[in-house]
Amino acid sequence: MKNKKSVRHDGYNKTVCFYFQVHQPYRLSKCNVFEVGNKDDYFEGPATFENKAIFEKVARKCYLPTNALMLELLEKHPEFRVSYSFSGVFLDQCLQFGELGKEVLDSFKKIIATGQAEVLCETYYHSLSWLYSKKEFAEQIIKQKKLIYKLFKKKPTVFRNTELIYSSEIAEFIREMGFKGILAEGWDHYLEWKSPYFVYNPEKVDLHPADRKIARQMAVNKAPKKPACRQGRDIALLLKCYKLSDDIAFRFSNRTWSEWPLTTDKYAAWLDAIMGDTINLFMDYETFGEHQWEDTGIFEFMRHLPEALLRRNIGFKTPSETIKAYKPVGRVHVPYLMSWADMERDLSAWVSNPMQESALRRIFELEPTVHQSASKMTKKKAEELENTWRRLQTSDHFYYMCTKYWNDGDVHAYFSCYESPYDAYITYMNTLNDFEQKLIKI
């Protein structure tokens, strides 16, 4: 006999939490050793991967059609919910790249204005700053929060780190900064017997006193005469249901997959069979139209999914609504850094070879010099200098240097704008050398 499903106080058996990452890096222009000291613009992108051209391509294939679909679904189904995190460098490109950029940004604003969508916070430059400078990490979060409010008039209360990089220590730092929730990969290694279909709290850990001081000084959502830190108050942890998320993001068009073709009814039935409170479907927004092309049927799949789920009494919530609706059922401890990248779910996509380590060390060693140089400049020039340094921190630059699976033609090669990881390293280091020479002259 089939067990009778429990019905929540909101009338649903369970709810789905959709979260989409929206990011576009500033790829580096080609820079050879003879240009060092005389390079003018670092961020046009290589000749065959110009940043403006890539933005325009992805806008037409993904951002605009997907936003039109999401707006249609939000208007058709008042119960439907979505959430986004936008890297600051993506939003910068929206503001930089003319009418098409404005159209993309306006289409996101329309979605947020429905009241059925949430904007999350992340590092402005989609960086790995947590690894090298807690102060820089916090400053990028504050800068991102200000940009989100300027563009969308929203104050984020939930945080997701670059590429879902997470540990219990990061969660504690983010809690001290005043956030109510944080996202992470629901990786089996750390979950063990626990299910990702519930809300959790991170395991409590002690921060280094200097790091705790930084977090409290930089705390967001400050109220007058009231500290923003959440002393004595837990932060909620939402875990990505990676198998179900990846069924859409990676396996949807794979004809060798045993479940191909994936229909909305089949997928909805899978979700219906799950025992839990929340099904967290986290993925890159470029899943729609870019990674999974339109002719795969991905848009039609998404168009009919909300209705298929609602028929089964499965509702939708944003991350904040999920945190408010469901009590945490326990704690999850993640002592080491994990991410949502590759099979290993670690940081090896960005920090696994001497090239990556050398480049990362060099860019973050410049922090005091950059700020000292900026202090001698006008406000506008100082902002330009710091912006250049921070764009050079974007994690994609180091992702392109990854050698793990390059020869197998894997996803690293697919997303790279370089002929090889070594070419990526040479271009980056030549650019960095040019930047350092400019710093010396200030």
- Please write the tens of the pLDDT for every residue from 46-75: 877 899 999 999 999 999 999 999 999 999
Q: Do 433 and 310 share a domain, yes or no? A: no
Whether 8 maps to a domain, the answer reads no
Instruction: Say whether 163 is catalytic.
Output: yes
Q: For the packed helices 298-311 and 64-76, what is the interaxial angle rounded to 10 degrees?
A: 20
Domain limits at 388? Answer: 354-441
Domain boundary among 332, 366, 385: 332
The confidence band for 393, taking pLDDT boundaries of 50, 70 and 90, is very high
Write out pLDDT tens, residues 207-230: 999 999 999 999 865 544 444 555
At residue 225, the pLDDT reads 45
Q: How many domains are there within the chain?
A: 2
At residue 277, the pLDDT reads 98
Whether 1 maps to a domain, the answer reads no
Alpha-carbon separation of residue 260 from 206, 267, 288, 387 (angstroms) = 46, 11, 17, 45
At residue 231, the pLDDT reads 54
Whether 319 maps to a domain, the answer reads yes
Whether 274 maps to a domain, the answer reads yes
Q: Do 214 and 90 share a domain, yes or no? A: yes
Q: Do 319 and 377 share a domain, yes or no? A: no
Q: Do 273 and 383 share a domain, yes or no? A: no
What's the full length of the chain, in residues?
Answer: 442
Residue 422: pLDDT over 60: yes
Residue 7: pLDDT over 70: no
Whether 5 maps to a domain, the answer reads no
At residue 39, the pLDDT reads 78
| Peptide bond before residue 65 is cis, with ω within 30 degrees of 0 | no
Q: What is the DSSP letter of 295?
A: G
At residue 9, the pLDDT reads 54
Active-site residue, from 118, 163, 185, 286? 163
Write out pLDDT tens, residues 145-173: 999 999 999 999 999 999 999 999 999 99
Domain boundary among 299, 332, 365: 332
What does pLDDT average to over the chain? 93
Q: Do 409 and 320 share a domain, yes or no? A: no
Whether 342 maps to a domain, the answer reads no
How far is 185 from 299, CA to CA, in rounded Å?
25
Q: Do 425 and 383 share a domain, yes or no? A: yes
422 CB contacts (<8 Å, ≥6 apart)? 355
How far is 425 from 397, CA to CA, in rounded Å?
8
Tell me how far the alpha carbon of residue 116 is from its chain's centroid: 20
At residue 221, the pLDDT reads 52
Which residues pair with residue 308 across a beta bridge?
Answer: none
Q: Do 327 and 390 share a domain, yes or no? A: no
Q: Do 362 and 323 share a domain, yes or no? A: no
Which residues pair with residue 19 across a beta bridge?
Answer: 83, 282
Whether 341 maps to a domain, the answer reads no
Task: Residue 30: give its domain's CATH number.
Answer: 3.20.110.20
Which run of H or E residues covers position 22? strand 14-22
Tokens 């408010």 correspond to 324
Q: Do 309 and 422 share a domain, yes or no? A: no
Q: Do 325 and 416 share a domain, yes or no? A: no
Q: Do 118 and 243 share a domain, yes or no? A: yes
Q: Are 161 and 169 in contact (CB under 8 A)?
A: no
This prediction has a pTM of: 0.93
Q: Do 382 and 435 share a domain, yes or no? A: yes
Determine the straight-line distance between the first and last CA of the chain, rounded to whole angstroms. 77
Whether 345 maps to a domain, the answer reads no
The confidence band for 404, taking pLDDT boundaries of 50, 70 and 90, is confident
How far is 213 from 108, CA to CA, in rounded Å?
35
Q: What are the structure tokens assigned to 174, written together?
A: 């983010």
Write out pLDDT tens, residues 316-349: 999 999 999 999 999 999 999 999 988 889 999 9
